[in-house]
Amino acid sequence: MNYKATLYSEQFTDGKVSVELQLFHGDLLIARHDSGSVEFDLKNAKLVAGGFDNNMLYIYPDHNVTSPAILVQDLSLLKEISASSNEIVRQKAMQATGIQKKKKFNKIAGIILIIVFFSGLMSIAFTQSAGIIVKLIPVKWDEKIGELGYPSAIASMAPGSTKIEDKYVLQSIEEIKNRLSVSLKNTPFKYNITVLKSPVENAFALPGGKIVIFTGILLKVDSPEELAGILAHEIMHVEKRHAMKQIVSRMGLSVLFQVIVGDMADAGSVILEVGSELLSLGYSRNMETEADKEGIILLSNAGIPADGMIQFFKKMSENEKELKSMSWLLTHPLSEKRADELAKIYKKYPPLNVKKFSTNWKILKSHLK
């Protein structure tokens, strides 16, 4: 078989000439050009994979990598050499193939590293600036994302769960909610609570103010104050727009992309579309701490003792088995440090004008069964 190649040698005016290559007996390479030919004995030759894309083969007559040299772009020559009957030649071909593969691998690894590096930089940049960006997003979008996210959140946590319509339960929870929301000054959000019948021991808030409580967690709670603590924490996630910040920081790139392409309306629709899926990602540690602190301040303003909430945490963490089954605690991990911090904040913000709730929790529980 003939291969097109380039012969580099000082004897030519341009330093190189086009040649036709042919392999004889598996170890003798002959390069023919217009004014003669050159022979390379492959037993003494050096084979090197090269070129910017690593898809070329350099052949040198000995260990010296300066000219004369033959450059072949058709790598099927390397395959033909690998089939040589001479052991030394065969090994040289195999080595060159190995180097070529390794270099290709390095290239891919490099690409991945750079992508990781840049996406890391981007995500740091967006986490830092997410708060600023979120301020520019209208509150209406929170509600929209909450609405869009609701069905998928329910479907993933408690499929087929039904709404609780019991008046005593709903009124009791409404009372807690009202006490809390009256204490929220200038909130742009309207809170509405849905209670769903499901063994899932969880409660969560969607951006915009929709709060979902499963009966599973209501059965674990022993007083209205404990539930108020959980709700205060969830409400603060909404008030501080944590979900929106998460969405912005994680989606930063694609939003940026939309802005560059120039269609802001599109950026909005991307946020809405992907945003609802991203709700399940959870909050960062800092966000949890912020919701803890702000939650206790809210309880204090509402005249609800926060030790109910701390008590609930302690009660749950003492029973390790229960801790594992309790999904609200899984997403809100309780360490001793966190409990201490909660207690410290509580000391700083004791409840103002404590008022008891009218609910008898035992009666409420009986209504759930």
Quick one: tokens of 76?
């099927």
The phi, psi pair for 204, rounded to 5°, reads -150, 160
In the complex, minimum distance from the CB of residue 114 to another protein, in angstroms, rounded to a whole number: 6
Output 88 or 114, the one with its CB closest to another protein.
114
In the complex, minimum distance from the CB of residue 93 to another protein, in angstroms, rounded to a whole number: 18
Q: State the helix-helix crossing angle for 87-136 and 242-261, rounded to 10 degrees.
A: 110
Position 69 contacts another protein (CB under 8 A): yes
What type of residue sits at position 146?
Answer: G
Q: Binding residue for another protein (CB under 8 A) from 182, 257, 331, 350?
A: 257
> In whole angstroms, what is the distance from residue 5 CA to residue 158 CA?
68
In the complex, minimum distance from the CB of residue 257 to another protein, in angstroms, rounded to a whole number: 7
Question: Judged by CB under 8 A, which stretch of 64-72, 85-93, 269-277, 297-305 contacts another protein?
Answer: 64-72
Q: Binding residue for another protein (CB under 8 A) from 8, 12, 150, 357?
A: 8
Position 16 contacts another protein (CB under 8 A): yes
Position 113 contacts another protein (CB under 8 A): yes
Position 129 contacts another protein (CB under 8 A): no
Position 56 contacts another protein (CB under 8 A): yes
Handedness of CA 314, 320, 321, 324 (dihedral sign): positive
Question: H helices within the chain, ranges in order?
Answer: 76-82, 87-136, 139-157, 167-183, 215-220, 224-239, 242-261, 264-278, 285-301, 307-318, 320-325, 327-331, 336-348, 361-368
> In whole angstroms, what is the distance from residue 204 CA to residue 338 CA?
20
User: What would the x/- binding string for another protein be over residues 258 to 277, using CB under 8 A?
Assistant: --xx----------------
Question: Judged by CB under 8 A, which stretch of 104-112, 132-140, 174-182, 288-296 contacts another protein?
Answer: 104-112
Question: Judged by CB under 8 A, which stretch of 256-264, 265-273, 278-286, 349-357 contacts another protein?
Answer: 256-264
Contact assessment for residue 70 and residue 59, using Cβ atoms and an 8 Å cutoff: yes
In the complex, minimum distance from the CB of residue 35 to another protein, in angstroms, rounded to a whole number: 20
Question: Judged by CB under 8 A, which stretch of 101-109, 164-172, 183-191, 272-280 contacts another protein?
Answer: 101-109
Position 182 contacts another protein (CB under 8 A): no
Taking Cα atoms as reference points, which of 169, 161, 201 lies closest to residue 362? 169
Exposed / middle / buried, residue 270 (Cβ in 10 Å: 0-12, 13-18, 19+) = middle
Position 28 contacts another protein (CB under 8 A): no
Position 57 contacts another protein (CB under 8 A): no
> In whole angstroms, what is the distance from residue 108 CA to residue 321 CA?
46
Contact assessment for residue 23 and residue 77, using Cβ atoms and an 8 Å cutoff: yes
Position 118 contacts another protein (CB under 8 A): yes
Using CB under 8 A as the criterion, which residues of the chain lie in contact with another protein when the complex forms?
6, 8, 15-16, 48, 50-54, 56, 58, 64-67, 69, 71, 106-107, 109-111, 113-114, 118, 256-257, 260-261
